[in-house]
């Protein structure tokens, strides 16, 4: 600040530069913290203000200021305070002809512009114009200064005002022309760096809508498209491709989705509110438009810090119950194990009958419960009749086929379908059958067990055989009405005959092709599905659900990501905008328009079946389709889950699919995850597998926007390419292994039949009816007492409870597969399972959101609410499953049987592995950095036992991915409410990846249903760790049997912690923007300017070229030695001066001692 003569100042600058150049940036930050920036700014102002500034001094000063300022976040403000911002601009104006000085000023301006107000100040004083005029067409001279000018220009474009000004002055067009010119001649590295800087300017200017418009109208997309193609041909220009493609992707004009409405194709008339709150008018529209919870949640996933609950009273105190005590006794009926008399243990006969008798009193209640809800759901067409009661209420497990059906005529409305495309599917596999069947009889799809005209439920099995019959039929009877019309004008008379015929048809197919799939029975599935109620009134079963699925024999690795895949896809998308060659753009499937005709050679799509989700398919090119997903029912958002049928394919041709309205901002599809595919033909050949499939997978932000342009402005494309194995196969594609509500019902029936009733107490009841009138099953599993002796009965009545729930989010089908593993294990004869049954009473609610699952929603229930945000005060009418699950918990609580463990099974779409979220006051407070003193806080660390054991037991589980933090945004989730309100210490969310693992023996593999089910088993195993007090000895033996450790220490897990996503090439490629200039880049430029100091006057271009190429303006070259502020000669001189001074006087050593 106060240096006297020029030489001393130079020496000081030199010393500073030497000091700051060594080591890391820490030194610079230290200098900044000691007022270094201010000192340099003052020196700059003092020197620069004079009429003829001393550039010998000014130049190194500016250089050092740029280096230091780049690392000082507040440099802009400091510069303004010191009056240095406009001074530097003025210095620049005076030196536009003086390349080296101009460059120095430009770097400083670039650094100052990190502050919005400084950038605006410089912009307002015509800084943009001054700088823009310094950018010439291609030249070989003064490349430093040119690049410095472009970088400074880009830096100024960080503010809205400057962007507006640049756009209005036509600089966008100018920049494009400059880029075109430089690019055409960019054969050397130096020019390449200029091209990069120009692209950075264009990126900045297109942050604004006006900028993008100018870019597009000035032919920016075409220009980049053309230049990029030349780049791809030249290795040296490769680095320009990525920023160019990203720029194109960003600027492609917003295109509304080709939909008439963003609202879901499925709407459900909501029941009126109960009398207690007559004035509350539910407007789902409003709710869904305003709430952006899920988005917020997703974005929060990584940084929960300011979301942590730090209010000790909220963490420690139990809130008042949400309902009066009088409402609790009704849940007594859901605890039959507490009143069951086990008479059959003495009689040892007819166990099922007696269990029926014991709980029959509550069956009426259940029926009433469902009927009460039917009142609401009958408002829509597909509602049940008032007389219907559900087989689920009967614990006797009588086959549902014999139960009376009560579908209303409205439910019988069939969607007419054209199945022409599938005609050859069975031509080679079931030739005999074809000869035997007449088409007319096969045509009539019927519903097993239905005694009146009912909703016709079609299965692919029947369908396929009928198609095969179709060929013969066409020969026999040309007068028959077209297939599509037949369904609607059917007669009752033929029905019985047809029914029996179909039964044999299915039998035949199953006999011939059916695989033996454990715990799956197609006929039972069909019967269960016949009772499932859906908004559109599904009449078709998807083949995989009906037929069943076996995990494929081997493991499936994560898909390697092809290099540059995203830019290749974006490039193809940009082509659509630029050329119409080969573009078809024809809608080939529309959920809302079944009469749609599509070309004979296009793929056929279909999604109107349980869990199905595909709203529209557009054929873009010969082998490319855009797919649009259906928003959650009654909502206009939450698209992510898909499940649809595709047929009429040609084998060995790569088909590209683009799901263009995904909503999450990133996806595991960018990190090795593949969608799943099921081939009917493969299944009939004995391979009924969902397999991970697809190549060229990537997930990126696209240019589509909502049809009506409201609320959400961004969508993401999931693109994948599939090469089908068979011609004219029927295949199914899904986001993840589907698991339908009907599958759950069928599965529970199979389980019920499988258990030994003398040993296993298995009771399936109805928790409540859903909005659509589907029963929500609750299952009780425990061991029957060894005898009716007082001691055995006492033990039974005092077993602790464990409550497990799942699938509150319909798109998380993995949760159901984990639940399936848990259920099967708990019903099995495994000694651990037996021990667990003897130790606990299990209450399982496997599917908290049946309606969402049925209708293929991703996140919500029919009322467009996320049910896992309703737990604080669930509405009995609108969120019945949550209301009654909580009611059951309250009841258990009220009778002193609060569950020992509560766990809600979920799936996680953005993380790998399986892990638990729990609740801990201490960890939350620690993590939040809260001032609350936790020393006096007592907290049972038992909440860590299960995760610790799972870490050892379950290969897919990662202890280090678990956390126990209580977030405000999750305060209404099951886990937090059960922990806080019911006082359950071990209250968890179990999150299973949709993708795979990055640790343990499954590292690098995608999870399949086998691994998910295994996880369900291992979760049960881990529960042994909380059985210490019960049946101690037996448990101990088992514990050693399964290698479970009661005394797991707080060990450092062998799993190494990884972030949500690994930092890798993909992440860079995923980023939407140009990478920012780094400090090293800037240092490198500045040092280059210094090095070239001597050459400026010489004008020896050839020599300079060489030097530049060696990295002086090379953007990517790292400068290892930052300290080259001064030309070598001067450096030498000042070092000598310093040496002389040291000799001349008593020098001061570093530790302050005077040396003589």
Contact call for residue 78 and Zn ion (CB under 5 A): no
Minimum gap (Å) between residue 906 Cβ and Zn ion: 3
d(C-alpha 607, C-alpha 402), whole Å: 29
Residue among 680, 674, 431 nearest 541 (CA): 680
The backbone torsions φ and ψ at residue 801, rounded to the nearest 5 degrees and listed phi first, read -100, 150
Minimum gap (Å) between residue 858 Cβ and Zn ion: 10
3-state secondary structure (DSSP) of residue 494: coil
Which residue number, 127 or 811, has a Cβ lying nearer to Zn ion?
A: 811
Minimum gap (Å) between residue 863 Cβ and Zn ion: 17
d(C-alpha 706, C-alpha 385), whole Å: 39
Which residue number, 812 or 851, has a Cβ lying nearer to Zn ion?
A: 812
Tokens in use for 609?
A: 């079946």
- DSSP class of residue 1110 equals I
Contact call for residue 859 and Zn ion (CB under 5 A): no
Which residue number, 749 or 910, has a Cβ lying nearer to Zn ion?
A: 910
- DSSP class of residue 337 equals G
Greatest distance between any 2 Cα atoms in the chain: 121
Among the candidate windows 13-21, 82-90, 221-229, 899-907, which touches Zn ion by CB under 5 A?
899-907
Put residue 798 in one of left, alpha, beta given phi > 0 → left and psi -120 to 50 → alpha: alpha
Minimum gap (Å) between residue 867 Cβ and Zn ion: 10
Minimum gap (Å) between residue 566 Cβ and Zn ion: 27
Which residue number, 670 or 816, has a Cβ lying nearer to Zn ion?
A: 816
Among 561, 809, 886, 944, binds Zn ion (CB under 5 A): 809
- Residue 751 vs residues 357, 491, 740, 743, 821: alpha-carbon distances, Å: 20, 38, 16, 12, 12
Among 884, 906, 975, 1021, binds Zn ion (CB under 5 A): 906
The backbone torsions φ and ψ at residue 1056, rounded to the nearest 5 degrees and listed phi first, read -90, 145
Which residue number, 897 or 906, has a Cβ lying nearer to Zn ion?
A: 906
Which residue number, 498 or 812, has a Cβ lying nearer to Zn ion?
A: 812
Which residue number, 859 or 1018, has a Cβ lying nearer to Zn ion?
A: 859
d(C-alpha 962, C-alpha 990), whole Å: 9
CA angle 470/473/475 to nearest 5° reads: 120
Among the candidate windows 43-51, 492-500, 672-680, 900-908, which touches Zn ion by CB under 5 A?
900-908
What would the x/- binding string for Zn ion be over residues 751 to 790, using CB under 5 A? ----------------------------------------
- Residue 42 vs residues 1, 30, 71, 79, 743: alpha-carbon distances, Å: 6, 18, 18, 9, 76
Contact call for residue 807 and Zn ion (CB under 5 A): no
Minimum gap (Å) between residue 812 Cβ and Zn ion: 5
Minimum gap (Å) between residue 170 Cβ and Zn ion: 51
d(C-alpha 882, C-alpha 852), whole Å: 13
| Contact between residue 820 and residue 1019 where contact means Cβ atoms under 8 Å apart | no
Among the candidate windows 297-305, 391-399, 510-518, 809-817, which touches Zn ion by CB under 5 A?
809-817
User: Which strands make up the sheet holding 616-621, listed edge to edge?
Assistant: 586-590, 616-621, 624-628, 654-662, 716-723, 695-701
- What is the number of other CB atoms lying within 10 angstroms of the CB of residue 891? 21
Minimum gap (Å) between residue 868 Cβ and Zn ion: 6
d(C-alpha 812, C-alpha 1068), whole Å: 28
What is the helix (H) or strand (E) element at residue 31, kind and residue range? helix 26-33
Residue among 899, 945, 861 nearest 287 (CA): 861
Which residue number, 785 or 850, has a Cβ lying nearer to Zn ion?
A: 850
| Contact between residue 810 and residue 853 where contact means Cβ atoms under 8 Å apart | yes
Which residue number, 118 or 995, has a Cβ lying nearer to Zn ion?
A: 995
- Residue 249 vs residues 196, 220, 568: alpha-carbon distances, Å: 17, 11, 11
Name the β-bridge partners of 540: 458
Residue among 393, 404, 401, 410 nearest 359 (CA): 393
Q: Which of residues 811-830 bind Zn ion (CB under 5 A)?
A: 812
Name the β-bridge partners of 302: none
Which residue number, 340 or 869, has a Cβ lying nearer to Zn ion?
A: 869
Put residue 303 in one of left, alpha, beta given phi > 0 → left and psi -120 to 50 → alpha: beta
| Contact between residue 19 and residue 1150 where contact means Cβ atoms under 8 Å apart | no
Contact call for residue 250 and Zn ion (CB under 5 A): no
Which residue number, 25 or 297, has a Cβ lying nearer to Zn ion?
A: 297
Count of helices and strands (H, E) across the chain: 45, 22
DSSP output for 759-807? TEEEEEEEEEE-TTS-EEEEEEEEEPPSSSSHHHHHHHHTPPEEEEEE-
- Only one residue has tokens 């050397």, namely 188
- What is the number of other CB atoms lying within 10 angstroms of the CB of residue 488? 12
Minimum gap (Å) between residue 866 Cβ and Zn ion: 9
Among the candidate windows 332-340, 386-394, 903-911, 977-985, which touches Zn ion by CB under 5 A?
903-911
Q: Pairing relation of β-strands 914-917 and 841-845?
A: unpaired
Among the candidate windows 151-159, 542-550, 823-831, 906-914, which touches Zn ion by CB under 5 A?
906-914
Contact call for residue 444 and Zn ion (CB under 5 A): no
Minimum gap (Å) between residue 151 Cβ and Zn ion: 45
Tokens in use for 1011?
A: 């691994």
3-state secondary structure (DSSP) of residue 990: strand
3-state secondary structure (DSSP) of residue 973: coil
Asked about 991 being catalytic, the answer comes back as: yes
Q: Which of 645, 663, 812, 991 is catalytic?
A: 991
Which residue number, 641 or 724, has a Cβ lying nearer to Zn ion?
A: 641
DSSP output for 173-187? HHHHHHHHHHHHH--
Q: Which of residues 503-542 bind Zn ion (CB under 5 A)?
A: none
Minimum gap (Å) between residue 155 Cβ and Zn ion: 43
- Only one residue has tokens 């709710």, namely 287
Total chain residues near Zn ion (CB under 5 A): 3
What would the x/- binding string for Zn ion be over residues 830 to 849, using CB under 5 A? --------------------
Handedness of CA 443, 447, 449, 455 (dihedral sign): negative
Which residue number, 299 or 361, has a Cβ lying nearer to Zn ion?
A: 299
Among the candidate windows 131-139, 144-152, 802-810, 942-950, which touches Zn ion by CB under 5 A?
802-810
Minimum gap (Å) between residue 991 Cβ and Zn ion: 7
Minimum gap (Å) between residue 829 Cβ and Zn ion: 32
Catalytic residues: 991
Residues in touch with Zn ion (CB under 5 A): 809, 812, 906
């Amino acid at each position: 600040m106060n240096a006297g003569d020029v030489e001393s100042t130079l020496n000081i600058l030199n010393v500073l530069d030497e000091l700051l150049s060594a080591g890391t940036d820490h030194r610079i930050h230290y200098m900044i913290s000691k007022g270094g920036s201010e000192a340099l700014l003052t020196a700059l102002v003092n020197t620069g203000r004079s009429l003829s500034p001393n550039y010998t001094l000014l130049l190194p000063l500016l250089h050092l200021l740029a280096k230091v300022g780049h690392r000082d976040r507040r440099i802009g403000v400091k510069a303004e305070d010191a009056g240095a911002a406009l001074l530097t601009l003025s210095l620049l104006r005076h030196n536009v002809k003086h390349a080296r000085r101009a460059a120095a000023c430009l770097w400083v301006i670039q650094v100052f512009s990190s502050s919005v107000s400084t950038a605006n100040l410089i912009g307002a004083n015509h800084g943009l114009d001054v700088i823009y005029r310094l950018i010439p067409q291609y030249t070989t001279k003064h490349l430093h200064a040119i690049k410095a000018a472009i970088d400074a220009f880009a830096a100024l474009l960080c503010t809205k005002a400057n962007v507006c000004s640049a756009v209005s002055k036509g600089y966008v067009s100018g920049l494009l022309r400059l880029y075109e010119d430089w690019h055409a001649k960019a054969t050397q590295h130096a020019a390449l760096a200029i091209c990069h800087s120009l692209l950075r300017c264009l990126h900045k200017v297109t942050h604004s809508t006006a900028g993008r418009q100018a870019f597009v109208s000035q032919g920016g997309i075409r220009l980049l498209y053309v230049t990029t193609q030349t780049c791809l041909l030249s290795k040296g220009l490769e680095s320009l491709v990525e920023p160019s493609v990203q720029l194109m992707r960003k600027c492609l004009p917003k295109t509304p989705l080709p939909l008439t409405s963003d609202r879901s194709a499925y709407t459900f008339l909501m029941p009126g509110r109960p009398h207690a709150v007559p004035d509350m008018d539910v407007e789902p529209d409003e709710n869904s438009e305003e709430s952006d919870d899920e988005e917020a949640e997703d974005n929060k996933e990584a940084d929960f810090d300011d979301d942590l609950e730090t209010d000790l009273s909220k963490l420690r105190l139990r809130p008042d119950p949400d309902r009066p005590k009088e409402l609790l006794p009704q849940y007594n009926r859901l605890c039959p194990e507490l009143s069951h008399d086990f008479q059959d243990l003495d009689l040892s006969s007819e166990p099922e009958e007696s269990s029926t008798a014991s709980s029959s009193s509550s069956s009426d209640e259940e029926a009433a419960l469902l009927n009460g809800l039917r009142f609401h759901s009958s408002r829509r067409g597909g509602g049940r009749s008032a007389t219907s009661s559900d087989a689920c209420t009967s614990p006797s497990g009588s086959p549902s086929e014999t139960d009376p059906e009560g579908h209303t005529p409205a439910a019988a409305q069939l969607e007419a379908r054209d199945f022409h495309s599938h005609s050859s599917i069975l031509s080679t596999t079931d030739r005999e059958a074809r000869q035997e069947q007449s088409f007319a009889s096969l045509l009539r799809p019927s519903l097993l067990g239905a005694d009146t005209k009912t909703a016709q439920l079609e299965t692919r099995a029947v369908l396929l055989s009928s198609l095969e019959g179709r060929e013969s039929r066409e020969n026999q009877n040309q007068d028959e009405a077209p297939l599509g019309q037949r369904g609607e004008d059917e007669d009752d008379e033929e029905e019985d005959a047809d029914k029996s015929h179909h039964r044999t048809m299915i039998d035949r197919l199953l006999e011939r092709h059916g695989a033996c799939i454990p715990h799956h029975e197609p006929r039972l599935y069909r019967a269960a599905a016949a009772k499932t109620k859906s908004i559109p009134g599904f009449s078709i079963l998807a083949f995989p659900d009906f037929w069943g699925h076996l995990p494929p024999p081997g493991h499936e690795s994560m898909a390697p990501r092809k290099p540059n895949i995203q830019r290749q896809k974006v490039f193809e998308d940009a082509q659509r905008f630029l050329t119409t060659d080969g573009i078809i753009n024809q809608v080939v499937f529309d959920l809302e328009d079944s009469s749609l005709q599509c070309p004979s050679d296009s793929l056929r799509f279909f999604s109107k079946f349980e869990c199905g989700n595909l709203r529209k398919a557009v054929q873009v090119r010969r082998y490319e389709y855009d797919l649009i997903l259906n928003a959650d029912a009654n909502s206009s958002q939450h698209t992510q889950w898909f499940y649809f049928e595709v047929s009429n394919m040609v084998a060995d041709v790569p088909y590209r699919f683009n799901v263009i309205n995904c909503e999450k901002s990133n996806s595991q599809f960018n990190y090795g995850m593949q969608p799943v595919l099921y081939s009917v033909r493969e299944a009939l050949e004995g391979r009924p597998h969902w397999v991970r499939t697809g190549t060229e997978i990537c997930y990126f932000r696209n240019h589509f926007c909502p049809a009506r342009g409201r609320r959400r402005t961004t969508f993401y494309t999931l693109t994948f390419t599939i090469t089908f194995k068979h011609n004219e196969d029927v295949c199914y594609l899904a986001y993840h292994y589907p698991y339908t509500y009907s599958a759950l019902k069928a599965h529970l029936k199979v389980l019920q039949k499988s258990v030994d009733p003398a040993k296993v107490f298995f009771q399936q009841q109805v928790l409540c009816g859903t909005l659509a009138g589907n029963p929500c099953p609750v299952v009780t599993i425990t061991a029957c007492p060894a005898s009716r002796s007082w001691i055995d009965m006492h033990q039974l009545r005092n077993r602790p409870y464990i409550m497990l729930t799942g699938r509150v989010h319909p798109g998380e089908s993995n949760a159901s597969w984990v639940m399936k593993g848990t259920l099967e294990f708990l019903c099995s004869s495994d000694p651990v399972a037996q021990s667990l049954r003897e130790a606990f009473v299990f209450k399982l609610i496997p599917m908290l959101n049946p309606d969402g699952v049925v209708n293929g929603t991703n996140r919500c229930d029919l009322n467009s609410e996320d049910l896992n945000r309703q737990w604080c005060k669930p509405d009995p009418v609108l969120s019945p499953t949550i209301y009654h699950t909580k009611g059951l918990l309250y009841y258990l609580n009220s009778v002193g049987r609060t569950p020992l463990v509560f766990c809600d099974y979920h799936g996680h779409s953005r993380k790998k592995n399986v892990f638990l979220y729990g609740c801990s006051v201490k960890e939350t407070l620690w993590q939040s950095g809260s001032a609350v003193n936790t020393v006096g806080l007592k907290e049972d660390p038992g909440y860590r036992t299960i995760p610790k054991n799972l870490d050892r037991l379950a290969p897919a589980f990662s202890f280090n991915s678990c956390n126990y933090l209580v977030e405000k945004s999750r305060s209404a989730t099951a886990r937090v409410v059960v922990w806080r309100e019911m006082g359950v210490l071990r209250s968890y969310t179990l999150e299973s990846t949709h993708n795979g693992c990055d640790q343990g023996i499954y590292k690098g593999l995608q999870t399949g249903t086998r691994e998910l089910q295994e996880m369900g088993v291992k979760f049960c195993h881990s529960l042994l760790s909380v059985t210490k007090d019960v049946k101690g000895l037996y448990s101990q033996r088992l514990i050693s049997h399964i290698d479970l450790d009661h005394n797991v220490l707080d060990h450092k897990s062998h799993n190494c912690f990884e972030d949500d996503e690994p930092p890798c090439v993909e992440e860079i490629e995923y980023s939407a923007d140009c990478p920012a200039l780094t400090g090293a880049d800037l240092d490198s430029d500045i040092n280059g300017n210094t090095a070239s100091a001597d050459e400026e006057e010489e004008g020896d271009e050839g020599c300079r070229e060489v030097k530049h190429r060696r990295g002086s303006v090379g953007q990517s070259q790292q400068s290892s030695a930052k300290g080259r502020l001064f030309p070598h000669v001067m450096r030498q001189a000042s070092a000598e001066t310093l040496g002389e001074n040291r000799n001349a006087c008593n020098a001061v050593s570093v530790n302050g001692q005077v040396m003589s």
